[in-house]
Amino acid sequence: MRAFRERRLLGTRPVVVAEPAPNTHRPLDRCVFECTSCGERYLGERRCPECHLFNRNLGLGAPCPDCDHPIVLAELLPDLFATTSTRPRSWPGGDG
């Protein structure tokens, strides 16, 4: 019955198709990848074009404004990504 109602409603109402935003990027487009063989870094490329191997994901990044080489965000802001506490977190209401 639900499918019948949906078909019936779609026939009477105009279907609105949402257009994607012009500046949307996939999350992998903003990731820095490093080749496990040659060590070259790429922005958004999962395979090394020279070695034909899969690259290792280093994290989110962007091209350097000076040299256009991919830089990982964690390298730019190491204090932001460093852990503040070395002891493990305990569960709420737990003993340790």
DSSP 12-70: HSPPPPPPPPTT---GGGGEEEEETTT--EEES-SB-TTT--BEEEEEEEEE-TTT--E
pLDDT tens digits for range 22-58: 666 666 778 999 999 999 999 989 999 999 999 999 9
Phi, psi values for residue 31, rounded to 5°: -95, 145
**Mean pLDDT on 78-90:** 60
pLDDT at position 89 is 56
User: What pLDDT does 81 receive?
Assistant: 66
Where along the chain do its domains lie? 25-80
- What is the per-residue pLDDT for 90? 57
Q: Compute the average pLDDT of residues 7-13.
A: 63
What is the pTM (predicted TM-score) of this model? 0.56
In the predicted model, is pLDDT for residue 69 greater than 60?
Answer: yes
